[in-house]
Amino acid sequence: MGCGAVDEGLLKDWFEAARSGDIEFLNRYSSRCQTQVDMRDSAPEYGVYTGFSAIHYAIVCDQFEAVQELIDAEYFCRLPYDCLIVAPSIGPRAQFVLREGMNIQHLSFLVGNPKISEYILNYTHKSGHNLVGIPDSQGMFSVSVLFFIQTNDLVIRHLHSDLMEEEIQLDYTGSKPSPSHLHMSGLFGRYKLVEHLLDYIKSGVATTQFVERIYSLALKTHKYQTILDACKIPMDKKRCGTSHAERQRCLEAMEKLVAKALEYFEDNGLEQDLVENYKYVTVMTDEDKLLLMKGPKGTKRPGLGLNGSLSNSSMNLGVTSLSDSNPFMNESKSNLDVANNNDSGTLSNRGSSSHRGSMLKISQKINDNEEIE
């Protein structure tokens, strides 16, 4: 909990006020309750989530004014524990592990409320505070979320804000052997995002650094799989939220992006190792890939310029129950998790509450077998 003991009954009302948007209550008790962490046992049927602060409840319940009221005090509140939620922004039946250390920018993108996510970005600019470059416990930056959620252009456009471009740069320069952001876009069939990137690059507004970073991501391979390979991996529509036709549209957009990347780097004499590695992987047989994947840890893979084991991705998506047959999901349980059971201390959404917000209300419709709007 935060500093100082606070009556449990008052805290219960405090978190409920954040869920319901009771600004008068939040203002009255802010000095006593701000930054407190909900330590009650998870009870999704009552809208209770272990580890949430008031601002987390306000975000997932689309309470914009409550976010405004709480942000000065709770801007830096990060989740102290892993937390499992239903995430309809990924797919109707997808579950997502909010990892320890996840910040409010992560959460706002995942919920997909453009007004709240833009407000938090603008607050960062104006306040001088900065969540940029602060990943969760598994190394995922907030910008990563934009590449695999299913959302509208108002949220996607945050991708090329100055702050998110900075995070793309920070994430790319990291040494972790993980799928690129575009691998995940391909895996989930997020054609809107890829088409948005193509249009943005074509517009001439994008900076050279941003264009080159996106092109570099387009040619990055993971476990000898390209972003085009990721588009072809079978996925359950109920969990990834995209149809076969939408995934095919994503593949076509990815093919254009890869072609532009290869042309750009070859014409400008840039990223020659990356280009060669990409071309090498595209002509490898499945048998060759399996043989290399089974190589000893620390062995340099011929022709790929990669070293060390690629078996444990640091790309923390925490998406559960999506697909059992792809190289990006079959990772260690702490990263890409395909387990159907819930770990001790994680959450699942089963019930209903009057103030659970869009993310949680949609999950209730799913469990009642109602059609998603």
* Cβ count near 370 (within 10 Å): 10
Task: Give the bridge partners for 232, in sequence order.
Answer: none
Return the pLDDT at 172. Answer: 67
pLDDT average, residue stretch 13-26: 97
Whether 310 has a pLDDT exceeding 60, the answer reads: no
User: Contact 275/262 with Cβ under 8 angstroms?
Assistant: yes
Percent pLDDT > 90 in the chain is 48
The string of pLDDT tens digits covering residues 104-143 is 999 999 998 999 999 999 998 888 788 878 889 988 889 9
| pTM of model > 0.75 | yes
CA distance 150 to 84: 18
SS3 335: coil
Whether 348 has a pLDDT exceeding 70, the answer reads: no
The string of pLDDT tens digits covering residues 278-308 is 999 999 988 888 888 776 554 444 433 222 2
Averaged pLDDT score across all residues of the chain: 78
Better pLDDT: 181 or 74: 74
The string of pLDDT tens digits covering residues 177-224 is 678 889 999 999 999 999 999 999 999 999 999 999 999 999 999 989
The string of pLDDT tens digits covering residues 155-179 is 888 888 888 888 887 766 655 567 8
Return the pLDDT at 228. Answer: 96
Return the pLDDT at 275. Answer: 97
Whether 239 has a pLDDT exceeding 60, the answer reads: yes
Return the pLDDT at 119. Answer: 96
Return the pLDDT at 120. Answer: 95
CA distance 160 to 132: 13
Q: In sequence order, which ranges of the chain are alpha helices (DSSP H)? A: 8-20, 23-33, 54-60, 64-74, 104-111, 114-127, 142-146, 153-156, 162-172, 181-188, 191-203, 208-219, 227-231, 237-240, 244-268, 272-282, 286-293, 357-367
CA distance 188 to 241: 8
